Amino acid sequence: MADVRLLVILGEVRKGQQKELFGNELAEGFLTCPPEILRTIGDEVNQLASWDNLSVEDAAILSSATENISISVVCRPTTNTLSTAVKRLLTPPGGADVPVYAAIVYAGLIAEASAHLILPNYVFTPTALSDQIEALAAIYPKPADTENPRAYKAIHLHIACSAVPLGGEWRQLVGRPVGSVGGHAVQVSVNHTFSSSKASKPTASGDTNTPPACDPSDIDKLVTSVLSALPANSYECVSEPLIPRSWTDPTLKVSRPCLYVFPEGSGQAAIFAIPGYNMLVNAGCAHHPSFWPVANHLDRLDSVLLTHWGVDNLLGLSSVLPVAFARTDDAVLDSTLCLLTPPPNPSGFCKLPEANPTQSPLTMSIPREMAKLMNELKQQGTSIFPQTLTRGTKMANAAQAVQLFQKVGQGSLELFPLTPTDDDSAELRKVADDWAKASPGLIGASVPLGRSPPANKFTVPLLSHISASTLVVWKPSKDTEAILRVLFVAPNAHQARVLISLEAIVASNIYLRHARAVPSDYERKRTTATAPGRK
C-alpha cells in the first residue's frame, strides 16, 4: 500500500484578500495531484474531519491522519517550522518496497513567473527545497546491505502552486535527480493536471486531462475542512500597520557614521547614517521589517539603495516608504526621496499595460508592485528623484563617483557604482523593455555569463547580471579622521565582476590601498619617502 502524505502551506497575504480566494487556490492545487493521491483523498476524506492543533512560533499547524494518508497544514510558517514540516513529508517509509506519494500544496502570495513562495519573512525557492533534500539525504543515507540488495521505491513529490500554472522555477526540479533519502530517489512533478472537473484541455506540460481520480466534491470537502479548522485571521494580513512616530518623540541623530544591519529572512536590509544624511539599503520581505523601529526614529530618510530587483525587497519597501513619507508637518511637505537603482524606465514606471484578467490576484509582479508604490508616494506629495546606478564606463575603467552628500566642515559622501557597466547595455535595454511591458518573462530571463568561451557556455539570471554593487565612501573634512569605505554587494551579484570593477577604482584612489585610511598618515609617509636625503 502506498504511503500518501500532504503538506498544505498557507503563505503571506495582502490586506483585504478573502478566505474564498485561498479555498479556490487550494482546490485547484489539489486537483493537479497524481491519481494515487486523489484516489486516497476520495477514499479517506470522511475520516479527515478532526484536526490536531500543534501551533508553535506564531504559526498555526494542523494535522490529521488515517492509516493510509497524513495531512499537515502550516499557516504562515517560520523557517524552522517549514523545515520541520518538509522533513516529515520526505522522511523514508518503513520499508524499501513502500512507495511514497507526497505533495506540497501552496496558497498565498507568489512571485510571478518564478513561482517563489512568499512567506511572512522569507521566500521559499526551489534551491531551498533542494538544500533540504540534500540535508535529509545526509541524515538518512542508503542502508549498506551488500548481501541482500533491495530495490527501493521512489518518493514521488508533487508541487502544486496553481497561481502560476507553468510552475515557474520549480519545473527545473522535474526530470532530474534531486537526491535520494534513505535509498529512495526523490522524483518531482509540478502542476501537471492529472484530473479536473473542467472540460478536457491540454495542460502546460502538454498532457491532456484524464477522467477524475476522485470526485471534485471530495476535494471541496477537504478544503472546507482545512479552512474551517484554521483561526479566522489566517486569511488576513496579520501584521499590524506601521505607525509613524509622533513629531514630539525624540529622533535618532548620529554624531559619527553608523551602519546598522538587519537580517530580514530571505533578504537583508541596512541603514547607513552620517550626520545629516540617512540611506536605507534594501528592505527585506516582511510587512513589518525589523529595521522599522530604527528607520522610524530617523529625522529623515534621504535615499534608498536597491541593489537588486526581487520579491525579497517588495514587501518591506511597500510597507515602509509610504509611512516614512506620510508626514503632515509643514517643514517636510516637500520631502524628497532619492531612489538609487530605480525602475529601468523611470520616465514611465507608473504606466504599465493592464494586467491579465485571468491572472491570480495572489501573484506579485515586480514592475506592477513598484508602479503601485511610486504612485502612492507621489500622491502623498513625495518628490522622487531617480538616480540610475551604472558604472558609466567599461568594467576595467575607473567609475565616476555619485555625490550623495557634502557639507563644509563636515565631509562628503560618495557612491561608486561597480556594476552594471557599459558592457551590459544590451542587457539593460532588455530589462527596460520587459519592465515597460510588465512581462512575466522578466524574472526568468537569463543571459550568457560572458561573451567569450568558456563563460558564454553558461547562463545567469538577467536580473542577477544587472544587479547593482556599489562602494560608498565617507570622507571627513578633517584629514586626521579615517575615511570610511563600505561595499554593498547585491546577494545575486557575480563575484568576479565585482572584484574586477573594484580593482579599477583602487588603482585611482590611494585611500583604497590602505587597511585604515587616514589622509594625514599616508600623506606623511609619502612626504617622508620622497624627501631628499640629508647631507
Each residue of 459-482: pLDDT tens digit?
777 888 888 899 999 999 998 899
Span 370-376, average pLDDT: 87
| 27, 226 Cβ separation under 8 angstroms | no
Sheet holding 122-124, edge to edge: 122-124, 117-119, 110-111, 363-364
Same domain, 375 and 499: no
Q: What DSSP assignment string belongs to 200-236?
A: P-B-TTS-BPPSPSS-HHHHHHHHHHHHHHS-GGGGS
Q: Is residue 87 part of a domain?
A: yes
Same domain, 29 and 107: yes
Which residue shows C-alpha cell 554593498?
488
Give pTM, 2 decimals: 0.86
Same domain, 248 and 367: yes
Q: Is residue 202 part of a domain?
A: no
Separation between Cα atoms, residue 413 and residue 303, nearest integer Å: 12
Please report which confidence band the pLDDT of residue 454 belongs to, taking 50, 70 and 90 as the band edges.
low
Same domain, 74 and 176: yes
Same domain, 173 and 49: yes
Same domain, 229 and 335: no
Same domain, 76 and 222: yes
Q: Is residue 535 part of a domain?
A: no
Same domain, 93 and 229: yes
| Residue 454 exposure: Cα atoms within 13 Å on the Cβ side | 0
Q: What DSSP assignment string belongs to 23-59?
A: HHHHHHHHTTS-HHHHHHHHHHGGG----EE--BTTB
Separation between Cα atoms, residue 261 and residue 12, nearest integer Å: 24
244: DSSP letter:
P
Q: Which of 23-27, 301-305, 348-352, 400-404 has the lowest mean pLDDT?
A: 348-352
Q: What is the pLDDT of residues 261-287, one digit of tens each?
A: 998 777 789 999 999 999 999 998 888
Span 196-216, average pLDDT: 53
Residue 119 grid coordinates: 512567506
Same domain, 260 and 145: no
Q: Is residue 111 part of a domain?
A: yes
Strands 69-75 and 110-111: unpaired
Of 235, 267, 288, which residue is a domain's last?
Answer: 235
| Residue 141 exposure: Cα atoms within 13 Å on the Cβ side | 4
Strands (E), 275-352: 277-281, 303-305, 336-340
| 460, 440 Cβ separation under 8 angstroms | no
Q: What is the pLDDT of residues 82-108, one digit of tens each?
A: 999 999 999 999 888 899 999 999 999
Q: Which of 54-58, 273-277, 327-331 has the lowest mean pLDDT?
A: 327-331
Of 365, 388, 411, which residue is a domain's last?
Answer: 388
Q: Is residue 359 pLDDT above 80, yes or no?
A: yes
Separation between Cα atoms, residue 170 and residue 89, nearest integer Å: 17
Give the range of the structural domain holding residue 254, as residue numbers without chain letter.
242-340+343-388
Q: Is residue 57 part of a domain?
A: yes
Same domain, 504 and 398: yes
Q: Is residue 122 part of a domain?
A: yes
Separation between Cα atoms, residue 351 and residue 177, nearest integer Å: 43
Q: Is residue 424 part of a domain?
A: yes
Q: What DSSP assignment string belongs to 85-127?
A: HHHHHH---SSTT--EEEEEEEES-EETTT--EEETTEEE-HH
Residue 121 has φ and ψ, to the nearest 5°, of -140, 20
Count of domains observed in the chain:
3
Same domain, 376 and 436: no
Please report which confidence band the pLDDT of residue 524 belongs to, taking 50, 70 and 90 as the band edges.
low
Of 180, 203, 235, which residue is a domain's last?
Answer: 235
Q: Is residue 210 part of a domain?
A: no
Same domain, 373 and 405: no
In the prediction, which pLDDT does 302 show?
Answer: 92
